Structure 1
C-alpha cells in the first residue's frame, strides 16, 4: 500500500453515450455550473501548492528516517503515530494530484495543464519512492506481533481493516529493490500509455454529414431520434476507429503484457487476482455474479431487444438502434434548474438528510456541468481527499438520461462525503461497494419520476430507459469483463493483431446482445474507445455488482425493512472500514450467496414483464 504515482479518478460512468457536442450548437439549458477548485489550490502557481509540495518532500524523508527498519519493533502507540503520519502524507499527495488531475480533465488538449499534471506526477513519484519500504516491511511483521499491536487499546486498532487488506498482498510481494523499481517506472509504464490513450481519444475527429465532431458528440448521435443520423454516427465511428486500430491495438497489447509480466513476478494466480484483492471481494463471489448474469442474457437483453425491434418496426436491430429513443418518446430537453430540482426532490423523498448532503454540489462550485472543447468525456465523481470535498464532472446535454447521470454522480459524491469521516485510509470504498450510493440515487430518481407520471407512453419510455440503463450497467459490463478476460488470456499466448482483438470483442457482443441484432461491418472495432480497459483492468464488473446490490437493497427498502434509512447511512459512512458481508448483514443480504444475484436480476425482469404487458 504505497501512494500511487497517479491518484486515479472514479472511471467514467458506463453510459458510453454521454456526449460532448463539439462542432454543434449547445442547447440553452440555463446557467451550468463550473468547478471552483480554489478549495484545493487558488492557482497552478499558488504559494500554497509549492508549500504542500515542499511539505510532502520533507514528510516522506522524515517518515523514512523515523520508521524504516523499525516497524516490527514499534509499540502500539508508536505504530498509531506511524499510521497517522502515513495518512497525512496520503492527504498531501492526494490533494496535489487531485488539483492537477481535475484541471487536466477540464481541458485534456491544453498542453500547459497536461504538463502540470505530468510534472507533479513525476515529483510525487520521486518523493514517495522513499515510502515503498512501508508495505514491504509491514507485511514482514509476524502475524502474532501484528495482531498484538493492532488489537492493543492504545494502538491503531481502527485501521486494522486497511492493513488486513494490505497483508492479503503478502504472497505476491517482491523484494524491496524490485518494488522500488516498479514504483519509479510507473510514470513511463501504464501511466504513460494511459495518457497516450486519453490524448488520442480526445483528439479524434469524425466527419458526419458535413460536420466535424469529437468522439463524444459522435457517440451522442447514437441516441438521436433520426435513424439516418444514428447510422451516420455509427459509420463515422467505425471509420475512424479502423484508421487508428493499430495504435489502439499497440496500447492494449503493451498494457496487457506489462500486467502479465508484473503478475508473473508476483506469482498472481490470474490476471483478475489483483483487482479482486483491491476490491476486497472473493473470486467466487465475482464468478457467481458473472455466471448469474450470463445465464440471464436470454431473459434480459435478448428478450428486451426483441421487444425493441418490434417497437421500432424492424426485423433486426443495428448497433445504432441499441440506445435509440422509442418512436413514441417525444424529444425533450430538461434545463439545469429542473434537473437539480428533480434529483434533490427524489433524494429528499427518501430522506431530507440525503438532499442536504447533495445540495452544496450545486451551490459551491463542486459540479462542472457545461460542455467545453477538450473536456473529458462522460461523467465522474472524484473524492479528492477527506479534508476537502468531492468534485463531480458532467457533460450535461439536457436529456432525461443526463438527469439520471446527475443522480448517479451525486450519489457517489454523497457517499464520499459521508465516508470522509473515516479518514483518508479508511474512507476509500472497494469498487464493488463504490457504486452503491450512485445506483441507489438513480433508482430513487427513476422511481420518483415513474410515480409522477400517469401517461402510458411516458411510463413506457421511462421503463424502457431504465431497462436499457440496467442492461448497459449489468449485461454490457459483464460482457466487457468477459472480453477483458479473453483478451488477457489470449495475450498470454502471444502478440494480438487488431483482427484477433476484434474477434474477441464480437464473440462477447453476439452472446450478450442476442439474436435481435445484426452487426454492421466496423462494429468489431468498438472496443477501442472504452477507457476502463486501459485505465482500470477488470474494473467493469463493479458496475454489475453495484447494480445487483442496489436492486436487492431497494427491494428491502420497498419491503419496509425497519430503520432502513439509518442502516443505509451507516453503510455509506463506513467507507472501506468493513467487508461487504458485514455491511450487508443488517439488510439480511449476503453477496456470497449465488441466489443473491438472482434477486437483483429479477427486478430487471419485472420491468421487462411490465413492458411486455403494455403490448397486450
Structure 2
C-alpha cells in the first residue's frame, strides 16, 4: 500500500484548521514499535528470515505425512503439527501486520509502498510452502479425523478449526492450481487493491481555494451551512469523475478475477464465497436483505421525509443526507471528552470492558489524527494474539467521530478477548465481528441519551442515531444489492462508468426514497467505497451486526443478571463457534424469520420517538 520516503505535499493549513486542531487537543499516534522497532531492525529482518526457515522445515516434516501423523503421538502427531502451524501463523501475522500498518500510516510514501509490496511478496512465497497443509488434511476421511480427535485431547483442542476447514473441502482445487492462485494473487487482486488505495490516498478535493484529502471533505457534508455541503459534494463529484477511469478499471478487473475464481471453485452464487468465509448460510443473508428492503419505506423513506421538513425543504439534495439539525450543538468534541465518554459507557456496562478499552489509550494502540496520505475511514486491526490490536481513526471532533471511536474500540475489545484462542482460531467471522463494535456504539449512545434532559438536544441525538443506523443497515444492504448488480452484469462483459453509475443510482434511489433528490454528480460516488475492492460482499455484515445487536441489546435491557458474563463468553469464542451456538444462550436465532424484524423494529421505534418529540414541540 504506501510508497517512497518523499512525503506527499500537504495542503496548506488555514488558520481555521489550526484553530480546530487546537480545540481537539493532543491526538494520539500509534506505537508500531510494539511490533518492531523499525523496518530495517534486526528483530523484523530476523523474524522474516525465521518465518522462511520455519515454513521450509514445516513443509519438509509434514508434507505427505499427515495421514500417518493422525495415529502418531508426541512430536510426530497431528496435534504437534497444528501447534507448529499456530505458531507460524502468529509469526507471519506479526510481520504482515507491521508492514500493513506502516503502509496505512502514509499510503503516499513511496518507501512505505515498496516495503509493503516487498514484504507481501515474501510472505506469499512463504505461505505457498504451507498451502499443502489444509489441502492434505481435507483429503483424509472425516471418520478418521473424528476418531483421532476423540482419542487425543491435544488434537481435540483444534476441533473447531478442523470442522471449519472441512466446509471449504467442496471448493478446493488440486495443490498446484491452489499454489498458482496464491502466487498470482500478488500480480492480480492484491496489485489492484494497492492501486485503488494509493489512488484514493493521493486524491485532492478543491473546496473554494483550499485543497484537501478525502476524509475532511466527506466531513464537510456534516456542516451546518448548506453551501459548504454543496461545495464539498461538487468537489467530490468533480474529482471522482476526473479519476473514474482508474476506478472503473479496478472494479472491472476485480469483478472478473472473482468470477474466474468462483467458477473454478464451483460456487453457485456470486456471494457464496463470502457466505462461506463468514460461516453464514445464504438463506440467512437473503432473509436479512429481503427484510431490510421491505422496510425501506418505514425506515429511510419515512425518516428522510421528516428530516426534509425539519430542514425546510420539500426534498433534500443528496449532500444534505447527513446534515446536522438546527438543534445539534455546534461544537468540536475534544479528544479527552471523547475518551471519557466511551470509557464511561463501557464501564457502566462492565468494568472489564472499560479496562481493556483503556489499554488502547494508555498503550499507544490508537492513531487518531487525520493527515495527508493516511488511510481514510477507520478500522481496528487485530494483528496477532502475541501482540495487541491497533485502531486507526481520522478524528475531527464531530459527534459521529465519537461513535466511530466507540465502534472501533468495540472491535478492539473483541479482538483482545478472542486472542486467547490462538492464531488459528481467534478470527471471528465478519457477521459476528461487528457484534462488539455495534454494541459498543449502542452503549455509548444510550449512556449519552439517558443523561440528556433537554428536548432539543434529545431530538438531535435521536436523529443522529437513526441516521447512523440507517447508514449501517439500509445503506449497507443497498451497497450489497449494488455489488450483486455489478458482479452479475460483469459476467456479460466489461462495464462502462455510465453503466456502473446507472446501477449505483438505481439502488440509491430505491433505498433513500423520494425525499432525497439525486442529481448529476452522484453517479460516481460508488468509486471511493473500499469494501467493494478489498472485501466483495463484506457490507451485509454491518446490517447483520446492527440488527443482531438491536436484538441483543433488548435482551440486555430486560435481563436481571448474567448478561455480561454470557456476552464476554460470546466475544472470547473468536472463531470457535457458529452464530447459532453463540446466540442460543440469549434466546436468539438468526434463522428465525422474525429475528430480523425485531432488529429493524428498534430503528422504527426510534423514528416513532422522534416523530412524537416533533409533534410535542
Shorter-chain TM range is over 0.9
* 1:64 paired to 2:59: yes
1:427 aligns with 426
Cα pair 1:23 1:214 within 8 Å, conserved: no
Q: CA deviation at 1:23?
A: 4.9
* 1:475 paired to 2:474: yes
Q: Alignment RMSD, CA only?
A: 1.3
CA separation in 1, counterparts of 2:531 and 2:287?
A: 22
Cα pair 1:383 1:389 within 8 Å, conserved: yes
2:300 aligns with 301
Cα pair 2:215 2:394 within 8 Å, conserved: no
CA separation in 1, counterparts of 2:277 and 2:606?
A: 34
Q: CA deviation at 1:561?
A: 5.0
User: What is the 5 A alignment of 1:318-329?
Assistant: 318-329=317-328
CA separation in 1, counterparts of 2:270 and 2:385?
A: 31
Q: CA deviation at 1:21?
A: 9.2
* 1:459 paired to 2:458: yes
User: What is the 5 A alignment of 1:531-550?
Assistant: 531-550=530-549
Q: Which has the higher contact order (CA 8 A, sep 6+)?
A: 1
CA separation in 1, counterparts of 2:13 and 2:310?
A: 32
CA separation in 2, counterparts of 1:119 and 1:336?
A: 36
1:369 aligns with 368
Cα pair 2:11 2:211 within 8 Å, conserved: no
CA separation in 2, counterparts of 1:184 and 1:395?
A: 34
Q: Which moved more, 1:447-456 or 1:129-138?
A: 129-138
CA separation in 1, counterparts of 2:327 and 2:359?
A: 37
1:17 aligns with none
1:289-341 Cα offsets, whole Å, 9 max, x none, are 11111110000000000000000000101111100000222211111111111
SS at match of 2:206: strand
SS at match of 1:207: strand
2:110 aligns with 111
1:388-410 Cα offsets, whole Å, 9 max, x none, are 10001111111111111111111
CA separation in 1, counterparts of 2:449 and 2:287?
A: 31
- The TM-score, its normalising length taken from structure 2, stands at 0.95
Q: Which moved more, 1:260-269 or 1:26-35?
A: 26-35
SS at match of 2:614: coil
1:79 aligns with 78
Please identify runs of 4+ aligned residues in structure 1 that moved more than 3 A.
20-24
1:13 aligns with none
- The TM-score, its normalising length taken from structure 1, stands at 0.96
* 1:596 paired to 2:570: no
Q: List alignment gaps of at least 5 residues for structure 1.
A: 1-5, 7-19
Q: CA deviation at 1:160?
A: 1.6
CA separation in 1, counterparts of 2:442 and 2:111?
A: 40
SS at match of 2:270: coil
SS at match of 1:526: helix
1:335-379 Cα offsets, whole Å, 9 max, x none, are 111111111110111011111111111011001111222111111
CA separation in 1, counterparts of 2:267 and 2:210?
A: 48
1:172-228 Cα offsets, whole Å, 9 max, x none, are 111111111111111111110000000001111111111112122211111111100
1:384 aligns with 383
Q: CA deviation at 1:513?
A: 0.3
2:6 aligns with none
1:19-50 Cα offsets, whole Å, 9 max, x none, are x9985514221111111111100111110111
2:357 aligns with 358
SS at match of 1:389: coil
CA separation in 2, counterparts of 1:22 and 1:591?
A: 51
CA separation in 1, counterparts of 2:12 and 2:585?
A: 47
* 1:248 paired to 2:243: no
User: What is the 5 A alignment of 1:336-351?
Assistant: 336-351=335-350
Change (3 A) 1:184 1:425: same
SS at match of 2:211: strand
CA separation in 1, counterparts of 2:178 and 2:424?
A: 21
